[in-house]
A and B are shown apart, each in its own frame.
Chain A
Amino acid sequence: MREVAIIAFGQTPNRRKELHRNDAEMVAPVVAEVLKGVGLSRRDVDFTCSGSSDFLAGYSFSWVMAIDALGAWPPIQESHVEGEAAWALYEAWVKMLCQEEIEVALVYGFGRQSMSSPREVMVLMNDPYLETPLWPDTISQAALQARALLDAGLCTERDFAEIAVRNLRHAESNPLAQLSGRPDPDALLETPTIASPLRKHDCPPITDGACAVLLAAGDRARELCNRPAWIRGLAHRIDVQALGRRDLTHSHSARLAAEAAGAIGTRVDIAELHAPFTPQDWILQRELEITEGTVINPSGGIHQGNPMMGAGLVRFGEVAARIIRGEADRGVAHATQGPCLQQNMVGVLEGE
């Protein structure tokens, strides 16, 4: 199989509300930054792929505007996934595996949650006959999963709080973090629940942002980057959606994706988990068999910033950036979409 690596990563600062720029205007400088970082121009990009959501953006064909900000002239090879941009990375990776002439690919994602109430908008991802008419908000759905973990005696609300604390502590070294700090878990547990047992600290922030990664193949990657983050394995799987049909203490598809990507049973230095809610972080640790020596979410995970539709791609970028900088040798990146970890992607990245 052809070798493909992430060679660059960039993102906007995670912000509660982007007051100046629209989606396309957010994307353009991030794309310029990643290209400049490796000394490429937009014309060196052989394939471009993005992820976004029309309902999040508030209008149809929302990604088309972003193409108008990329310098797509002469015409480019380009595609788009509706949803999380990590799947755009997957599409680019597949294209590079089977088309030798695609040597460099650009992948980006963007979303502005602040324009609407994502807690409600994302309800539209559910069954439109049986569930959406009741408007079960995303936090409530995650809370049903959290309760299942508590009832099974697998973890406690304190475990959830400690995951939040770990993420915020790690975020202190992330200059682009929206949230960071060193809250006391006991104090967090004194705060009221939003949807019991979940409290504010268990939930991701509302974030506007964009992100981009560059992929390159084989020697081209080595030429452009001193230490490419090679994709050793990449796979995604999905579960049945209905919460009442799933064992919510598990994410079957996360485990299957991890197995297919070769993430199980190998030593990794770091893991970036796209766990919108703290109980999901716990579940993913178990499904991906992450062990003691692995630093989880060195960036602060998505509790420091959640640019929806790009937040999963950011996980890949954060792992790759640490490998590229020589801070880690091997890492696991995870992305998800759908309620309660319904669909999961796992990648194993490694430096040489």
Chain B
Amino acid sequence: MADAQKPVTYIKTPIAIHYDYSIGTGSSTFMRAIREGRILGSRCPDTGKVYVPPRLSSVETASPMSELVELPDRGVVYTYCIVNIKFYDQVLEIPYAYAYIVLDGADSAIMHLIQECSVEEMRPGMRVQAVWKDPSEWTESLENIRYFKPTGEADLPIDTIMNQIRKKSYA
């Protein structure tokens, strides 16, 4: 044995578990709409909050949510992160920014990339809109939206917006 002199101190035990992974109804509804270039949310019957992606039941009250709401592809940045580190499966050029984006008419934030904007210019309250891939490339993925970019409109008061959302919360 080549290594005969060196005692065994570790073993390698590779594991590969395959799944036929199902994402459930709420996410499927969202992904099927996004395949057609539409963004859907659902409205909580108790608080009126709109969730994106839609969910079958309210996070706060557990009530079934059956009302779907179509949302525009523009919104406002709540908070964000500038990433300066490359992870092994990451294809994005660093630095890049992703933000919590509250779409107009929504209460929950989605997370997405912000581009066409230097990281120094990023700020909470910034108005952004989606930049879509060509419709021929659309699949069931939020990656149909390549990124969000600034609209150039005046910033919105983010504290006022977040306080309005919080006021709706179930007491």
Direct contact of A and B (CB under 8 A): yes
Residues of A at the B interface (CB closer than 8 Å) are 18-25, 28, 31-32, 42, 55, 58, 68-74, 112, 114-117, 120-121, 124, 128-129, 132-133
Asked if A25 contacts B18 (CB within 8 A), the reply is no
Asked if A42 contacts B26 (CB within 8 A), the reply is no
Asked if B59 contacts A112 (CB within 8 A), the reply is no
Asked if A132 contacts B27 (CB within 8 A), the reply is no
Which of A20, A25, A114 has the most chain B CB within a 10 Å cutoff? A25
With A and B bound together, what is the CA distance between A42 and B63 in angstroms? 10
Asked if B25 contacts A69 (CB within 8 A), the reply is no
Cβ contact of A71, chosen from B24, B56, B61, cutoff 8 A: B61
Q: In the complex, which range does the number of interface residues on chain B fall in?
A: 20 to 34
With A and B bound together, what is the CA distance between A21 and B55 in angstroms? 11
Specify which chain B residues have a CB less than 8 angstroms from the CB of A116 in the assembled complex.
Answer: 17-20
Specify which chain A residues have a CB less than 8 angstroms from the CB of B170 in the assembled complex.
Answer: 73-74
Contact A22/B13 with A31-B62, A32-B62, A112-B22 known, Cβ cut-off 8 Å? no
Specify which chain B residues have a CB less than 8 angstroms from the CB of A19 in the assembled complex.
Answer: 22
Residues of B at the A interface (CB closer than 8 Å) are 11, 13, 15, 17-27, 55-63, 169-170
Asked if B61 contacts A22 (CB within 8 A), the reply is no
Asked if B22 contacts A115 (CB within 8 A), the reply is yes
Specify which chain A residues have a CB less than 8 angstroms from the CB of B169 in the assembled complex.
Answer: 73
With A and B bound together, what is the CA distance between A168 and B25 in angstroms? 32
Asked if B62 contacts A21 (CB within 8 A), the reply is no
Smallest CB-CB A-B distances: 9 pairs: A22-B24, A71-B62, A73-B60, A58-B19, A28-B57, A115-B19, A71-B61, A25-B24, A116-B19
With A and B bound together, what is the CA distance between A352 and B77 in angstroms? 59
Specify which chain A residues have a CB less than 8 angstroms from the CB of B27 in the assembled complex.
Answer: 22
Contact A22/B18 with A69-B57, A73-B169 known, Cβ cut-off 8 Å? no
Specify which chain A residues have a CB less than 8 angstroms from the CB of B25 in the assembled complex.
Answer: 20-22, 25
With A and B bound together, what is the CA distance between A31 and B58 in angstroms? 13
Cβ contact of A21, chosen from B20, B24, B63, cutoff 8 A: B24
With A and B bound together, what is the CA distance between A20 and B57 in angstroms? 14
Specify which chain B residues have a CB less than 8 angstroms from the CB of A115 in the assembled complex.
Answer: 19-22
Q: Nearest-CB distance from A294 to chain B (Å)?
A: 38
With A and B bound together, what is the CA distance between A116 and B19 in angstroms? 5
Asked if B26 contacts A129 (CB within 8 A), the reply is no
Q: Nearest-CB distance from B39 to chain A (Å)?
A: 20
18 extra A-B contacts, CB within 8 A, seeds A55-B17, A58-B19: A22-B22, A22-B24, A22-B25, A22-B27, A24-B24, A25-B56, A25-B57, A28-B56, A28-B62, A32-B62, A42-B61, A71-B57, A115-B22, A116-B17, A116-B18, A121-B17, A128-B13, A133-B13
Q: For B61, give the chain A residue with the smallest CB separation.
A: A71
With A and B bound together, what is the CA distance between A25 and B22 in angstroms? 12
Q: Nearest-CB distance from B159 to chain A (Å)?
A: 22
Asked if B60 contacts A71 (CB within 8 A), the reply is yes
Specify which chain A residues have a CB less than 8 angstroms from the CB of B22 in the assembled complex.
Answer: 18-19, 22, 112, 115
With A and B bound together, what is the CA distance between A223 and B15 in angstroms? 51
Asked if A129 contacts B11 (CB within 8 A), the reply is yes
With A and B bound together, what is the CA distance between A130 and B94 in angstroms? 43
Q: Nearest-CB distance from B29 to chain A (Å)?
A: 11
Q: For A65, give the chain B residue with the smallest CB separation.
A: B24
With A and B bound together, what is the CA distance between A19 and B25 in angstroms? 9
Contact A25/B26 with A116-B17, A116-B19 known, Cβ cut-off 8 Å? yes
Sample of 7 A–B contacts (CB below 8 Å):
A19-B22, A22-B23, A28-B62, A55-B17, A73-B169, A115-B20, A129-B13
Cβ contact of B58, chosen from A18, A20, A71, cutoff 8 A: A71
With A and B bound together, what is the CA distance between A150 and B44 in angstroms? 59
Contact A69/B17 with A18-B22, A20-B24, A25-B26 known, Cβ cut-off 8 Å? no
Cβ contact of A73, chosen from B18, B26, B61, cutoff 8 A: B61
Asked if B56 contacts A68 (CB within 8 A), the reply is no
Asked if A58 contacts B21 (CB within 8 A), the reply is yes
With A and B bound together, what is the CA distance between A68 and B60 in angstroms? 8
Asked if A69 contacts B24 (CB within 8 A), the reply is no
Q: Nearest-CB distance from A62 to chain B (Å)?
A: 12
With A and B bound together, what is the CA distance between A349 and B153 in angstroms? 66
Asked if A42 contacts B62 (CB within 8 A), the reply is yes
Asked if B11 contacts A133 (CB within 8 A), the reply is yes
